[in-house]
Structure 1
Amino acid sequence: MNNHTRLKYTVAVILLCIAANLLVSQEPEGPDAQSSFGFGLGLDLGAVSFQEDGEAVAYQRLVLKPDFSYGKFGLGLWLPLHFRFTDNGSEFREEDWVLQDGEKPLEKYLPIFSYVRYGQKGDEFYAKLGSIEDGTLGNGFIMGGYTNTHFLPDTRIIGLSLDADGGLIGFPYIGLETFVGNLALADVIGARIYSRPLAGTSLPLLPELQIGTTFAADRIPDAQYDFVSDPDMVQMFGVDIRQPVLDKPSVSLAAFGDLVFQDEAYGGMVGAGGRIVQHILYGAQLRFLGENFLPVYFDGQYDLYRKEKYAVYNGDIEIPAYAGWYGSLGFAFLQDTVVFLTSVEGGFGEPEEDIEYPRVNATLSIGEGILPGIYFDLSYDKRFIKGLDDFSRGENTVLGTALNYKTGNALITLGYTLRHDPASAAGEDPWMTTATLTTSVDFSF
């Protein structure tokens, strides 16, 4: 197939997708008028350079992003096409779709799935394949809020989150949560099995008592960047308990606890949290952390701090045992369209090591429909806070934003991440920045 034929096929595919969307987007009639079927087509246009024979070669980028939904089922695809115009016509980059030497089929073709989803976290059956931003097991003391999206758009990592509750088959006594951060490498993995021993009773709240055990590991700690020769596998397991205490429209409260073992280190926590009048989010924990123990090892920033965490795990960096605390407070309004949540954690007494100094994490999400054409997410993470002056410095800070502007069917998205690398070598720029600007046209209905 020559280049001109390829271009004709590409244009034909785009036109067919648009035509199909216009057909299905007509108002349904009859008994199926309330059908939840949906189809959308997003188009990303831009430019990018690739290294070829030691030189940077510029290509135009066209990404088709069809999105389908039906009931609890959702599917999003990411279909990239890079091309450039030469004196002889147009030229397509075959590396987009053709396996190259050393490439594995899963690594090559899994990234075309932005996501495949059924249900939501907390449903009796939930599954999501693709980009995952909320990987959590149990109470989150081992894995809480892990995300595999830090390297977008350059690298798309395909993960899997799969939960099944025995209530689905009329046996509510057991359940399972599983997680794989990267299906192609199976590096970050985890599973939790839990039971409800009192599910068959009619006692208030006690049927919801959960007792669980969790295993999580990073089989390839240096999967994203090399920092050590032949690293050992990171692995940990724990037991947990969770008991609802109040479940009323005006206030909800659940008590929980964990005991976790990380190699030779161990730690535990007890806590409680819930909502007040559906709008105020709150939580608190007491933590008892042994030597070299890191709570929430697989957190939302894990892929950015693998090197630092591994150095503690294998004993290259030693931190003392200490008693700590954790508190969170936030609010949610307009059916969780506006959500703000901030958390602070640290150690009791006078800190002796950096790890004991407070850490602050804050997120703000303004959903679509609040501001005309604008919706966004902001995040702020600050570690090792020794004084108020530290908030004016960039060290140990990660800032993130995703700003969206929508007018009609056109959408412009600005993504920006700034991180200070405390382990950068002398003379190197310690600031690591990632900025993306994406324009798209969405034909969804």
Structure 2
Amino acid sequence: MSNSNNLILVLNCGSSSVKFSVIDPKTEKDVLSGLAEKLNLQDASVTFKFDGHKETRFLTTNDHTGALESILEKLKALGLFEKVTAIGHRLVHGGEAFKASVEINDEVLKTVEACSNLAPLHNPANILGVRAAQKAFPSLKNVGVFDTSFHQTMPEHAYLYAVPMKLYRENHVRRYGFHGTSYRFVAKEAAKMLNKDENNFALVVAHLGNGASVASILNGKCMDTSMGLTPLEGLVMGTRSGDIDPGLFSYLNQELKMDISAINNLLNKESGLLGLSELSNDCREVEEAAENGNRNAQLALEVFAYRLAKYIAGYVVPLGRLDALVFTGGIGENSASMRARVINHLSFLGLKLDENANNETCRGKAGVITSSTAPLALVVNTNEELMIAQDTVSVLNIAI
């Protein structure tokens, strides 16, 4: 257990889950972490991880409030409650209102609620989490860290769609981008690892997981990113299609009589690696099937890698140069074969894979995976929870 008296509770609330960490900002280590899941169902439960132990219990109150109360009880039982100084929240969509992390008050919550039409699956759940935290920990201040805020430095020509400007002015239709907290953390870590000045550094970062995106980061600021108004745009993902011809909507409606809801479900939950492989949205399972000769699995990985490589090459344009390509996220950090596929597509940029380094860099190990001197490719382990904790300390000016 930590001796620090300034621990930060970090919450990432979904519609049916609460992922949490208690972080010591001084040591940058988790003191307690876990997941409450199946909220609002009879078998709602919470799992705690601490000091090498793992413990799961069913929730007596099966909603977000019950989950936070259970976390509160555990903190008290472990003697940590009095050491928690503040709470940091992952908030998905802040629209154009938030360019940085902020202390949460009623006005902030109203603005987040007003953005709910842009992230209907995420923002309402995030707000529920904040309200539950305020009820369980009434004396603690809360800080909101937005997925979208990092991308607010994109220029107009990068974030505007070529649709009538009225839609932007009146309905806020534009590209927003996501995974911003991860990008901010990874860009700083990459600069440290390579002993570079983050304010004079050109990166393309590929955040690859069940949700996947790419960002151009120049001198610590986002110039462009692949996700758009929603997280559906851009790369092939676990269950999301990424870029498609918008005409597909009318085609599916006319030919298959599918309505908007059914098409949205198809593109968000039945496509990507799952749709192409007809097996799984889990890259590990698709890779295993591909190694065993499954043609659909092989094709799914090729489409994923090809689309990603095209995006990476295109995202050098906003930078004017490329100092490093960074892989992060579950797939980016752990799939040596996917990284190899992508770098082989990009050899014309001067990237040359170091096969031994690439194969050794996974399961929590970070490092450079190319033998060329420039540009480099490297793996960086993301840590969004730590970034949220650090922002919480900074916004509230907490001494550590």
Query: Do both proteins adopt the same fold according to a TM-score greater than 0.5, normalized to the shorter chain?
Result: no
Structure having the higher strand fraction is 1
If you compute each CA radius of gyration, which structure gives the higher value, 1 or 2? 1
Structure having the higher helix fraction is 2
Q: Could you state the TM-score of these two structures normalised by the residue count of structure 2? A: 0.29
Q: Taking CA–CA contacts closer than 8 Å with sequence separation of 6 or more, which of the two structures ends up with the larger relative contact order?
A: 2
